[in-house]
Amino acid sequence: MGLGVYFRRRARWMKYLLAIPALYLCVMIFMGKSSDGGVDSGHDRNSNNNLPVIEGVGEGRPEVPRPAKKKLVYARNAESDKDANVLHAPVPGEDGKTNPDGPGELGKAVTMKKEDLGPKEKTLFDDGWQNNAFNQYASDMISVKRSLPDVRDDRCKEEESGYLTDLPDTSVIVCFHNEAWSVLLRTVHSVLDRSPSHLLKEIVLVDDDSDMEHLKKPLEDYMAKYPKVKIIRAGKRVGLIRARLIGAENAIGKVLTFLDSHCECVQGWLEPLLDRIARNWTTVVCPVIDVIDDSTFEYHYGRASGTQVGGFDWNLQFNWHGIPDHEKQRRKYDTDPVQSPTMAGGLFSIDRKFFQRVGTYDDGFDIWGGENLELSFKTWMCGGTLEIIPCSHVGHIFRKRSPYKWRTGVNVLKRNSIRLAEVWLDEHKKYYYQRINNDLGDFGDVSARKSLREELKCQSFDWYLKNIYPELFIPGEAVGSGEVRNLGDGGRHCLDSASKKNDYHKPITMYPCHKQGGNQYWSLSKEGEIRRDEACIDFAGKDVVVYPCHGQKGNQLWNYNHETGRMFHPTSNKCMEMHTDHKTIKVNACDDDNERQKWKFQETLTLATVALELHAQFR
């Protein structure tokens, strides 16, 4: 072999050796660029199936700051195109941790403007609101393990050392129907990550017949990594009440803790609840319910001094109000447990044996509604105590509407409320029936529930009102009630107004009388208030409005003469009058000849009748 041939062959092998590292470098560069596109590199970043990626700024997306080497991306749900809008959990960065500066961390708001989004993102944004009645687009940008501030008062942290050492364990029951992936997972992780392991027996997820694919096998595969989580399928649509009963039947913890599927628990949420039950197994406890903004997912909270208690009105609807004076005097610190007449019903803990003792929920209740008042009434009336625990905080997304559809033609809330009234309200049920014009319909058989109450030797509802909720206005103590009809222009129009908190300060109107109660049902108190529950008719010089009753008379004092029909307002020295448009209420100079200043309550008590009743009361 000649020397020239040797060098030619040597040069050829040298080229091969130099080509190998060059080829390797090209492959690595290609792979690096491919991985930047997201978990699913088989789809273009701007394809029709594109999902929000929060590691950078795409076309029309809000900018999200992200430090280097801590990128979070979302994996697609490959199971079905039906749920292309639903995102999996964020994938941690190289250090295995979620980004502390990521969207929504420490409970901060995720803000965006729809007009700044691209066409595809606007569709995702709109679909999220339509399907969930909250901003799913914002939720999907937030880690399912996001951090929250420790919102407890300092005294709560100091009191931790005083909890009993042998606290009972609990099963946390979460019922869901077509819940958004990120919201449901965030609920579960907040429980897993912020509950002492020895106190959390299990999390029971009850699927109320969801039909979205991400809540089927993908959810099972995801939760398989967490042995304490088990999923139970209802098999058919049963509603919240029966879904909770299914969860309770399958739970094994000593205490049952019920949460909604769109919650976030904060540090130290569980121990103070279990401590109260450990001290008295008949105590039912609720956390302070903080507000997770439905648009920005900002976590709003307050101090223990601002804790409110639950009540209800005679429409049998739950409401919140301030801690009454007698309860403030009973407590030493703002962080002490607060006795509450009722619970909101979505979030609470109860000893499993006590829950069974008081008959769990009325299985004749359908879907949802009224179950919170039923459990509240029988807890107090049948030997228990209901408390709100200021040292326990759980956030909850409060939706402005329900995104779910049910069969039409049945007013389940009304039917449940009638069953509630029949069993627990005794003679006071008439006040609710007056609101629905005594239209009871078919509410089913309640004999078993009445028998349960007799077996438990529960107190009367009159006892409950006098000892547990003495602040509640009793319509039977009114001197006038029902519709308030104006006698002018044919006498066909009545005072009409809603009276919920968002109706306060709004002018009262006139509307054709319908004799259906509701917005036309009013009571005239002995103190001269025209009121519906906690809302009073108020005149401060401009409009006649609905305003919270304050008991100070003044603008809310009306002297009604049942003989002449005059509604006199002493503060202004004028009389209530229906305007000629038959829609507006005015307060004008009194005129005995003006028929539009004459009013008639549906039912009235004369002064003589009131005197007789008082005499009978104190004989």
Report the CATH number that the domain containing residue 236 is assigned in CATH. 3.90.550.10
Say whether both 125 and 170 belong to one domain. no
C-beta neighbour count of 75 within 10 angstroms:
14
In a domain, 165, yes or no: yes
- Are 408 and 306 spatial neighbours (Cβ–Cβ below 8 Å)? no
| Structural domain ending residue among the three candidates 349, 382, 397 | 397
Q: Is the pLDDT of residue 484 over 80?
A: yes
Say whether both 130 and 279 belong to one domain. no
How far, in Å, CA of 15 to CA of 8, rounded?
11
- Which residues face 319 on adjacent strands? 311
409 backbone φψ class: left, alpha, beta (φ>0; ψ -120 to 50): left
Say whether both 24 and 44 belong to one domain. no
Say whether both 129 and 158 belong to one domain. no
Q: Is the pLDDT of residue 4 over 50?
A: no
- Are 523 and 566 spatial neighbours (Cβ–Cβ below 8 Å)? no
Say whether both 287 and 170 belong to one domain. yes
Band of the pLDDT at 81, cuts 50, 70, 90? Answer: very low
Mean of all residue pLDDT scores within the chain: 83
The reported pLDDT for the residue numbered 20 is 53
In a domain, 462, yes or no: no
Higher pLDDT, 335 or 437: 335
Q: Is the pLDDT of residue 411 over 90?
A: no
In a domain, 389, yes or no: yes
Residue partners of 564: CB distance under 8 A and separation at least 6 = 592, 598
pLDDT tens figures, 535-590: 999 999 889 999 988 888 899 999 999 889 999 999 999 999 999 999 999 999 99
In a domain, 42, yes or no: yes
- Are 261 and 210 spatial neighbours (Cβ–Cβ below 8 Å)? no
Q: How far is CA 175 from CA 78, 216, 242, 246, 399, in A?
A: 25, 14, 10, 9, 16
The CATH number assigned to the domain holding 569 equals 2.80.10.50
Say whether both 228 and 354 belong to one domain. yes
- Are 152 and 393 spatial neighbours (Cβ–Cβ below 8 Å)? yes
How far, in Å, CA of 176 to CA of 223, rounded?
15
- Residues for the chain: how many in total? 619
Cα–Cα nearest to 262, from 437, 144, 108, 88 = 144
Residues 593-603, mean pLDDT to the nearest whole number: 93
How far, in Å, CA of 255 to CA of 24, rounded?
60
How many structural domains does the chain have?
A: 4
- Are 508 and 577 spatial neighbours (Cβ–Cβ below 8 Å)? no
Q: Which domain holds residue 165?
A: 154-397
Cα–Cα nearest to 259, from 395, 104, 365, 89 = 395
- Are 232 and 247 spatial neighbours (Cβ–Cβ below 8 Å)? yes
In a domain, 241, yes or no: yes
In a domain, 392, yes or no: yes
Say whether both 227 and 259 belong to one domain. yes
Say whether both 254 and 356 belong to one domain. yes
Say whether both 219 and 114 belong to one domain. no
The reported pLDDT for the residue numbered 176 is 95
Say whether both 44 and 159 belong to one domain. no
Residues 450-460, mean pLDDT to the nearest whole number: 96
Higher pLDDT, 544 or 56: 544
Task: Read off the amino acid at residue 307.
Answer: T
Residue 408, burial from CB neighbour count under 10 angstroms (0-12, 13-18, 19+): exposed
Q: Is the pLDDT of residue 77 over 60?
A: no
Residues 388-405, mean pLDDT to the nearest whole number: 88
Q: What is the dihedral of CA 427, 432, 437, 443, to 10 degrees?
A: -80
Higher pLDDT, 255 or 42: 255
How far, in Å, CA of 261 to CA of 242, rounded?
15
Say whether both 65 and 26 belong to one domain. no
Say whether both 501 and 557 belong to one domain. yes
| Structural domain ending residue among the three candidates 340, 374, 397 | 397
